[in-house]
Each structure stands twice: as C-alpha cells, then as structure tokens.
Structure 1
Amino acid sequence: METATATLQIPAASEQVTQVELPSSHGSTAATLPSSADAQPQPYEFHASHVYASEADAQVVRDALAIDPELRPKQVTRELTVDKTTLNIFFSAVDARTLRAAVGTFYDLLALATRTLEAFGPAQP
C-alpha cells in the first residue's frame, strides 16, 4: 500500500547547525508544532516520505499523527506534510539519542495508523 524513503543527517562533532531548512518538497498542507523562541539549535535531522494509495489516505494518517505534540518541544521539532499521495516527515533534535527516541516512537504510531487504515479501508471523500 505504501512505499517509503528516509534520510538521516548527522553533523560532524565540530559542526553545528543553527538554522533548520526544510526541503522544497514540504507542501503547504502542514501539521507543525509551534516553535519556541528559546529552543536550542537542532543539528540532527530525519527526513522520510511514505506514499499512500490516495491523498485522502495520506491526510488521514497525517491528521491522526499530528494530534499528539512532542513530549520535549524544546529538544525535538516535527513537521508532517502531505504532497499529493505522499506523507513527508521531518524531525530535528538536539542530539542523536533524542532524535532516535522521537522517530522510533513516531514510527510505532505510524505503523498503527497505517494498519488501521488498511483494516478499515480507504478514507472516504
């Protein structure tokens, strides 16, 4: 039902990213968490995309996953966007351990949402 691609960017120990830029593939249909003015720079990034059967299916999964805010909003940011039938996922975090925990938990929920979609059929218009 879906295909997936993912990339993980980890800077060198001496490198620090002070601004996070999203790829141009992130569409205007977004579910984002509010950013904090006192948030720390987040040099660890994770990008992934999952293709669903329809745009409605991708939006249903995005909406289901966007409900829960990050537990550590000063340490992790998340953006979910839908571009046609593709759910684009972007995470950034202050360290690799925090990023791994956030992405791992998110993927548990993504798998559940996808299995639920498969069990109950496609989204209705």
Structure 2
Amino acid sequence: MPSRKELDPLQFFRFSPSLYLAQIEGDGDVYLRFAGDHYRQLYGREITGMRLSNLVPDRSQANPLRRDIDRVKGTGRPVYREDVMTWRPVPAPVHYDRLMLPLSQDRKTDTVSLVLGIAFFRHRDGTPWP
C-alpha cells in the first residue's frame, strides 16, 4: 500500500474534478480532505472539509459508500463499485463507477488512514454527468 507522500497530485490533475481524498478518523468517521468539482455539483455545495457523517448521516452498513470505505480500511485493498445514486432529488438517478484506493500516512505501517477515490458519473443512457 503506498503512502500519501509517494503520490504527486500533479500526476492526477486532469482527473481532479472526479477525485476525493478521505482521511479515516479514530472514531471511524471520515474527513473529506479534498473533493473535486463534480462532488460540489452532485451535492449542491462544497464538501471539502466536511465529515462524512454530516454529509451522509446514514452510518450503517446499508450505505454503499460507508460499506466500501470500511472494506478498504479493513482489507487494505482497492474497492470498485458500479451503482446508482437514488437519494438525489433530481428527475433521474445518477449512475457511477467508483474506485477507492487505500493509502497510509507512512509506508512503514499497514494501517489504512486515507482513501483516494475517483468516481465517474453518468446518466442512464451512458452520457457523462454533469
């Protein structure tokens, strides 16, 4: 598992609207250190700096985002999901492909402390969203 220090943000620049970096807190909550522009459009507000519990109050395993973060943390392995967001108050659901990668603060430890994620959103017909 790579450490955060081994990643150069400039290598990911063209994907930045679709990227997020989440820090796993000691209480199990998640702090969003960075969320690209697509997330601001999706949620209708800036979410960088928010806690996941404030953004998505459902902390249960029924929540796919929470379940995937817990899986990345528990296994130290990437997680991929293709799914549909149905919670948004819009005329049609948003489909997405999401990849989450585990990161550690330090290469010497195998503890997952960060999750680097990228998601590509699309309409039902496959055209990109937004």
Asked if TM exceeds 0.5, the reply is no
TM-score, normalising length from structure 1?
Answer: 0.27
Query: RCO greater where, 1 or 2, for CA within 8 Å and sep 6 or more?
Result: 1
TM-score, normalising length from structure 2?
Answer: 0.26
